[in-house]
Amino acid sequence: MTKDILVVDNLNMHYETLEGNVMAVNNVTFTVKEGESFGLVGESGCGKSSVASTLLQLQSENAIISSGSIKLDNQELVGMSESDLRKVRWNDISIVFQGAMNAWNPVIKIGEQIREAIREHHPNNTKKENTEKISELFKIVGLDDSIMDRYPHELSGGMKQRAIISLALSCDPKIVIADEPTTALDVVIQDQILNEIKKVQKLLGLSLIYISHDIAVIAEMTDNMAVMYAGSIVEKGPTASIFSNPRHAYTKLLLESTPSVVGEKKKLRALDGEPPSLINGLKGCSFSPRCPDPTDACKKGSLEMKLIEIESAHWADQCCVNCG
């Protein structure tokens, strides 16, 4: 049996703002196994990036983790001291942030910015060793060694992104998070980068959390996945099982509104309405205001949101399973 690399249990996080608390992460529970690619999908604003930053304990200053645990290779990260976290970051868990184009400091050379990370975690390496390491990573992502001596503004978007991937891999982390890594790129390049990440993941047997708002990309990239809505996971399980047998009304709509996933030409159903405001939390099914056919029980909001296992490793929100 493969090992659990990351175990997130009942994580709750909110942002304190002047308008009230933004409940960005509610009772989030999931597990990532060694060598697997795990997808996190949901509309923009549903809390995906919030989950990602919490995993590194890099949430913004106004974020409060009210409860829950994050175990990375059996190490509890919630409540860990800053100096211990510094050792874990990048060495055990690294991230490609959303909008990673801006992840490069404009006045420092690319190579030096990667080297800096390695130096932090392997202080006894020689310069030559570090250069070789970077060169090796560059080869994997298809970059020339000369890029090391370039400044970020001299690189195209795609090249920057490839370099970011090698940056994320530079300390051989146990798990890598990729938060919408292709968003800012044009379509052709997006495809190349996706393939690159997939290739690297397979090649290195990397544990990966892939975050996207595009369920089609998740289908292509991941083994297991979770669907997030309004800060909660509404359905999770093996990617294949969710695609063949979606159980939550939101997942179904998400699939139907995406042309490339479902093979036959079906009439596209648009996903109407806006995601709800997360301020001060929600009662009952968070999707009910937009749900195409809610039952009376849903409307009353009498059923608590809670995931139940409907088939092996495939979980969905109980109220929706019961009514849909």
Partner 1 sequence: MIVVFFIFLVSSYLLFNAIPGNAFSNLLLNPNLPPDAYEKVLQTYGLDKPLFERVQLYVVNFFKGDFGYSYKYYPQTPIELIAERLPRTLMLFSVVNIISFYTGFFVGKVLAWRRGTKSETWITVTSVFSYTVFYPWFALMMLWFFGYKLGWFPIGKFLYPEKWYDAPFDSDIIFAMMIKFVVVISILQFIAYTVSRGIEALSIRRNIRFTSLVLIFIGSYFYWNTGEALARKPYAADIAYHMILPVLVVTIVAFAGTALLTRTTMMEVLKEDYILTARAKGISQKRIRDRHAARTALLPVVTSFIFTIVTIIDGSVLTEQIFSWPGMGQLLLQSVLNEDIPVAMAAFSFVGVFALLAHLIADISYSYLDPRIRIKSQG
Ligand X SMILES: Nc1ncnc2c1ncn2[C@@H]1O[C@H](COP(=O)(O)OP(=O)(O)O)[C@@H](O)[C@H]1O
Residues binding ligand SF4 (CB under 6 A): 249-250, 285, 287-288, 291, 294-295, 298, 319-320, 323-324
The 3-state DSSP class for residue 151 equals coil
Q: In angstroms, what is the minimal distance from the CB of 79 to ligand X?
A: 20
Question: What number of CA atoms fall less than 13 Å from residue 324's CA on the CB side?
Answer: 22
Which of 130/224 has CB closer to partner 1? 130
Which residue in the block uniquely carries the two structure tokens 């510094």? 86
CA distance 123 to 61: 29
Amino acid letter, residue 266: K
User: H helices then E strands: how many in the chain?
Assistant: 11, 12
Structure tokens, 44:
């923009």
278 binds, among ligand SF4, ligand X, Mg ion, none (CB under 5 to 8 A by kind): ligand X
Question: Bridge-partner residues for 210, per DSSP?
Answer: 39, 178
CA–CA distance from 165 to each of 168, 287, 309 (Å)?
5, 35, 35
What is the H or E stretch that residue 193 is in?
helix 187-204
Which of 62/302 has CB closer to ligand X? 62
Segment interacting with ligand X (CB under 6 A) among 28-36, 44-52, 69-77, 130-138? 44-52
Which residues does 205 contact at the CB level (< 8 Å), separation at least 6? 34, 35
Structure tokens, 17:
């703002």
x-or-dash string of contact with ligand X, 22-41, rule CB under 6 A: x-x-----------------
Contact between 59 and partner 1 per CB under 8 A: no
x-or-dash string of contact with ligand X, 261-290, rule CB under 6 A: -----------------x------------
Inter-axis angle of helices 157-169 and 110-121, to 10 degrees?
10
Sole binder of Mg ion in the list 26, 37, 49, 251 (CB under 5 A): 49
x-or-dash string of contact with partner 1, 110-139, rule CB under 8 A: -----xxx-xxx-xxxxx--x---------
Contact between 181 and ligand X per CB under 6 A: no
Number of residues near ligand X (by CB under 6 A): 15
C-alpha 35: how far from its chain's center?
Answer: 15
Contact between 56 and ligand X per CB under 6 A: no
Contact between 17 and partner 1 per CB under 8 A: no
Q: In angstroms, what is the minimal distance from the CB of 84 to ligand X?
A: 24
CA–CA distance from 179 to each of 115, 210, 299, 322 (Å)?
23, 6, 34, 33
Which of 189/321 has CB closer to ligand SF4? 321
Q: In angstroms, what is the minimal distance from the CB of 302 to ligand SF4?
A: 11
Residues at the contact surface with partner 1, assessed by CB under 8 A:
56, 58, 85-91, 94-95, 97, 99-100, 102-108, 115-117, 119-121, 123-127, 130, 151, 153-154
